[in-house]
Amino acid sequence: MTHRLLMLPGDHVGPEILAEADKLLRCLMADFGLDAELEYANLGGCAVDAEGEPFPRSTQRLAEEADALILGAVGGPQWDGLDRDRRPETGLLAIRSALGLFANLRPAILFPELVDASSLRPDVVSGLDILIVRELTGGIYFGQPRGIRTREDGTREGYNTLVYGTDEIERIGRAAFEAAARHNGSLCSVDKANVLESSELWREVMESLAPAYPNVRLSHMYVDNAAMQLVRDPRQFDVIVTGNLFGDILSDCAAMLTGSIGMLPSASLDERGRGLYEPVHGSAPDISGEGVANPLATLLSVAMMLRHSLDEGALADRVERAVGRVLADGHRTADLAGPGVASIGTVAMGDAVVNALREARD
């Protein structure tokens, strides 16, 4: 059966890195028997410019018909002044919500070749392999009421609502327990239960799920301590499960342990395993147009798609091995090379991965 893949390049470096995903997929189709067709649609700032809204109906229709979606990144300073409902980021939240993509898997794996690119000492990070499971369609990102209002005294206030229902906590909890059972069997639930009622319930529900997963050890940690522990001794973690906002922050932090935010892929899955795949980083407007963005997070997101949505685990392994090969051969984009060290651009890095994939086959 032909897999229908929807490509959403987005803004700034989004199209640059998605071109490399397109190149990788066409190689997999031409030489490795992947049966897929690629379609393109607008999401984010480019959709505002072309169609007047960040998540147009045309995109929603194609998204609902697709077997899997690959996103570059959205956003940029030229859209920051728009009303919130027309901002690129609102389009990203809307597609996650419309497709029910509640389970966001963000694996932070340190390729051994990059141990010196990490901002932490090799003895602290080598062998790092953790997974952050972030709740993606609830919490303070979506809670009502929200807004900016004028108080009686004429001053203004901004407000948001952090709310989690037991149903939402249970489904992300089950996804996380299952992920931990496949990983190394320990699950750390991160919350702020010493202050927040939503976290109190979160902790209670996580505990109530534990008996159904006797092979998984459940522990709890406050988010402030978790941020500290991630840079003190990150390998103490196996799988982390947390809410939307805490997961957003902790995953950028975990990204740096792997050498660069340009290395972290992600999968956002619905109840049936259909997903949207995207790098964890943003649209990097500060380097867009220069052809220097690291495409590896995006290519590793393609590998996650092959594994989680297309049932092509062997091809996913091949892509991940090709990335390892390229790094072992010394190829580095600027974010990985560090100042003063020779580096290659986005297109050359994509070419190197495709070449490594082909060479490993021959």
Q: Which residues are annotated as a binding site for substrate?
A: 96, 106, 134, 224
State the CB neighbour count (10 A cutoff) for residue 69: 27
**Computed from CA positions of residues 58, 59, 61, 66, in that sequence, does the dihedral angle turn out positive or negative?**
positive
Provide the b/e sequence for 145-160 (b: ≥16 CB within 10 Å).
eeeeeeeeeeeeeeee
If one asks whether residue 89 binds Mn ion (CB under 5 A), the answer comes out as no
Q: Is 135 in the site for ligand IPM (CB under 6 A)?
A: no
| Cβ 343 vs Cβ 336: under 8 Å | yes
262 touches, from ligand NAD, ligand IPM, Mn ion, none (C-beta below 5 to 8 Å by class): ligand NAD
Q: What gap in Å lies between CA 264 and CA 281, rounded to an integer? A: 7
89 binds ligand NAD (CB under 6 A): yes
Q: Which of 347, 277, 262, 319 is nearest to 71 (CA)?
A: 277
List, edge to edge, every strand of the sheet that includes 275-279. Answer: 36-40, 3-10, 68-73, 275-279, 265-269, 103-109, 129-135, 239-242, 186-191, 217-222
Residue 21's CB is within 10 A of a number of other CB atoms, namely: 26
82: contact with ligand IPM by CB under 6 A: no
Task: Report which residue type is found at 30.
Answer: A
Positions marked catalytic: 141, 192, 224, 248, 252
Q: Which of residues 91-130 bind ligand NAD (CB under 6 A)?
A: 92
Residue number with CB closer to ligand IPM (92 or 296): 92
Under 8 Å between Cβ of 257 and 115? no
Of residues 200 through 239, those in contact with ligand IPM by CB under 6 A are none
Is the distance from CB of 250 to CB of 227 less than 8 angstroms?
A: yes
- Match 């991965």 to its residue by tokens: 353
Choice from 9, 243, 262, 265 touching ligand NAD (CB under 6 A): 262
Chain-centre distance of CA 214, in angstroms? 29
Whose CB is nearest to Mn ion?
248
Burial 301-322 (b: 16+ CB within 10 A, else e): bbbbbbbbbbebeebbebbbeb
Q: Which range, of 14-22, 36-44, 85-93, 346-354, touches ligand IPM by CB under 6 A?
A: 85-93
Instruction: Give the whole-angstrom CA distance, residue 63 versus residue 95.
Output: 8
Interaction between residue 196 and ligand IPM (CB under 6 A): no
From ligand IPM, Mn ion, ligand NAD, none, which one binds at residue 93 (CB under 5 to 8 Å depending on kind)? ligand IPM
Q: Count residues near ligand NAD (CB under 6 A).
A: 20
Please identify, using beta-carbon distances, which residue of 250 and 326 lies nearer to Mn ion.
250
Looking only at residues 309 through 338 of this chain, which bind ligand NAD when binding is defined by CB under 6 A?
335
For position 285 contacting ligand NAD by CB under 6 A, the verdict is yes
The answer to the question of residue 93 lying near ligand IPM (CB under 6 A) is yes
Q: Which residues are annotated as a binding site?
A: 76-89, 96, 106, 134, 224, 248, 252, 282-294
Distance CA 304, CA 69 (A): 11
Q: Write down the least CB distance from residue 301 to ligand NAD, Å.
A: 11
Q: Does 92 bind ligand IPM (CB under 6 A)?
A: yes
| Stretch near ligand IPM under the rule CB under 6 A, chosen from 88-96, 200-208, 220-228, 292-300 | 88-96
User: Out of Mn ion, ligand IPM, ligand NAD, none, which partner does residue 110 contact, by CB within 5 to 8 A per kind?
Assistant: none
C-alpha span between 149 and 57 (Å, rounded):
30
CB of 89 to Mn ion, least distance (A): 10
**Does the protein bind ligand IPM through residue 276 (CB under 6 A)?**
no
Residue 284 binds which entry of ligand IPM, Mn ion, ligand NAD, none, CB below 5-8 Å type-dependent? ligand NAD
Q: Does 248 bind Mn ion (CB under 5 A)?
A: yes
Q: Contact residues for ligand NAD (CB under 6 A)?
A: 73-76, 89, 92, 261-262, 278, 281-287, 293-294, 297, 335
Q: Contact residues for ligand IPM (CB under 6 A)?
A: 75, 89, 92-93, 248, 280
Q: Contact residues for Mn ion (CB under 5 A)?
A: 248
